[in-house]
Amino acid sequence: MKKGFVKVIPETFDDLWHLYNVIYRGDEVYAYTKREIKPDEKYARPRRGQRVPVFLGVKVEKIVWDKLLGRLRVHGTICKAPETVPIGAHHTLNIALNKPLTIVKRKWARHHVERLKRARKTSEKPITIIAIDDEGYAIATTKQYGVEVKVEERIRLPGKLEAEKRSAAIKEYFRKALSSLRQVWTATRSPIAIIGVGFVKNDFAKFLESEAADVAKSVLDVKGVNNGGVAGIYEALRSGVLLKVMKYLRVVEETETMEEILKRLGKGESNITYGLEEVKKAAQLGAIEKLVLADTMLRETSAENRLLLEDLMKIVEQKGGKIMIISTEHEAGAKLLALGGIAALLRFSLYQNLYQ
């Protein structure tokens, strides 16, 4: 840290997400890459160059995260390279899993270092969630940056009066759901949570025990929710019914914090504030118990605004407050953005303090 750089090796797609939130415009990133080297022959006919492996340093101008492909691309101007590569030319580094890279910053903020330390310690597998009822099912996997929906199917079963037809249709429906679940589960062998409305979720859990014992062994919990499909998955995250399965998952912590913010606002309590100016006032008074920021507030802003936010974070930490940066890749982050991207849970009422 004294020399302003860290070396990392991303091991999972979640690690790439962390790097996306750590690497900023103006940083320097060094890694092995491939670059087209053209033959240096003055009078030769122009020929296509050969792509060769080189070690390059890039001054970051733009960083792109493709969560569908699990890919991180760092674009900028070359600041260090072999003699065969022109300094100042544009280049894009494709950050790959299990390949080392070095990140250089003028100054490392505490929340950056803490994020990297947290990513290093994180070893839990993702959770596979299937929300199933008599109208359809949805399957999603959890990520540190939110929830990724893998499958969503709607169905129409025969009515309860047609018992024989309904029983046969449910068996066929369960086989289809199992096929989809197995396809998702096989990739990670992760713990499974079954959620849903009514008794269908329990019947599906029994079906797994009899038809797919290997998958059934990964089922850690079966819980009821009020909504089906993807809405049911988000409800389960908000309500905490998945805590047994997802105890240490970051997205649950972020969701719970956001629900507490909305609860206090909904009740009109005075130990909550949001918006940059109001949060600044609370920080100066030492009133902030937890400062909550949307990740885009730090990542997609000017260097000047970022420094202002990081100064605010320092003030909160110096006065004993905690910092939480919430991912905008899931519902909690979207709700925080609707409040301006910044909020604070307070130790005491800000307004009472002002009038005293």
Percentage of the chain exceeding pLDDT 70? 91
Looking at the chain, the domain(s) classified CATH 3.30.420.60 span 128-248
Domain 128-248: give its CATH architecture: 2-Layer Sandwich (3.30)
pLDDT score, position 164: 85
Weakest-pLDDT range from 5-14, 234-243, 311-320, 337-346? 234-243
pLDDT tier at 50 (50, 70, 90 boundaries)? confident
The whole-model pTM stands at 0.66
**pLDDT, tens digit, for every residue of 57-95?**
999 999 987 766 667 999 999 999 988 889 999 999 999
**pLDDT, tens digit, for every residue of 208-229?**
999 999 999 999 899 999 998 9
Contacts with 19 (C-beta within 8 Å, 6 or more apart), sequence order = 8, 10, 72, 95, 103
pLDDT tier at 356 (50, 70, 90 boundaries)? very low
Looking at the chain, the domain(s) classified CATH 2.30.30.870 span 5-121
Provide DSSP, 288-328: EEEEEEEHHHHHSS-HHHHHHHHHHHHHHHHTT-EEEEEPT
**pLDDT, tens digit, for every residue of 226-264?**
998 999 999 988 887 777 776 556 777 888 899 999 999
**Separation CA 18–CA 26 (nearest Å):** 18
Task: Single out the residue of 327, 129, 149 nearest to residue 246, CA to CA.
Answer: 129
pLDDT score, position 158: 86
Task: Single out the residue of 163, 175, 164, 174 nearest to residue 134, CA to CA.
Answer: 174
First-residue to last-residue Cα distance in the chain: 44
- Looking at the domain that runs over 261-355, which CATH code has it been given? 3.30.1330.30
Q: At residue 335, does pLDDT exceed 90?
A: yes
Contact 129, 249 (CB under 8 A): no
Domain 5-121: give its CATH architecture: Roll (2.30)
Exposed, middle or buried: residue 104 (CB in 10 Å: 0-12, 13-18, 19+)?
middle
pLDDT score, position 353: 46
**pLDDT, tens digit, for every residue of 289-311?**
999 999 888 888 887 888 899 88
* pLDDT averaged over every residue in the chain: 87
